[in-house]
Structure 1
Amino acid sequence: MKSGIHPKTFKSKIVCNCGYQSEAISTKGETVSVEICSNCHPFYTGKQRFVDTAGRIDRFRKKYAKFEDKKA
């Protein structure tokens, strides 16, 4: 490896908004803040939910309801 071209690495403390903390090696700095981690992410916790933003599900059902009427 060439000397002087690689970034400095730090033993960083990673802190999530939920309060979970872990240590890793990073080039970002001593402390790295994240918004979501595997401890609080819905995919890993099994608490997934569907967010119906502006009635998208209702609009989809209304749009394709006419095709369901023709099949029956």
Structure 2
Amino acid sequence: MKKNLHPKYKNVMIKCVCGKIFNIKSTLKTNLIIEICSNCHPYYTGKQKKINIGNRIERFNKQFGKKYII
């Protein structure tokens, strides 16, 4: 078997800008800084904005008429 064929598998620290730190095992050579994680992402925190698509449908029908009604 060849030696030094596979990359080294080691502990890597991933830090989010919100301050949360994740320790994982990876073949990455350096620690990472990420912009968003499960701790601060709007979907996971419940702060996600809901889009009212009713207005979009009305605007579409206003622009293109009733010939494209779905």
TM over 0.5: yes
Specify the code of the residue in structure 2 equivalent to 1:44.
Y
- What is residue 31 of structure 1 aligned with on the other side? 31
Task: Classify the secondary structure of the residue corresponding to 1:25.
Answer: strand
The answer to whether the 8 A contact 1:10-1:30 is kept is no
Aligned length: 63
Larger deviation, residues 1-10 vs 39-48:
1-10
Give, in angstroms, the shift of residue 29 of structure 1.
2.4
Paired amino acid for 1:11: N
- Stretches of structure 2 lacking an aligned partner (at least 5 in a row): none
Partner of 1:9: 9
Q: Please tell me the root mean square deviation across aligned C-alpha atoms, in Å.
A: 2.8
Q: Which runs of 5+ in 1 are unaligned?
A: 52-56
Spell out, residue by residue over 1:25-64, the C-alpha distance to the aligned partner (whole angstroms, 9 max, x if none): 112224111111110111111110157xxxxx86653222
Q: TM-score if structure 2 supplies the norm length?
A: 0.66
Superposition misfits of 4+ residues, deviation over 6 angstroms: none
Identity %: 40
TM-score by length of 1: 0.64
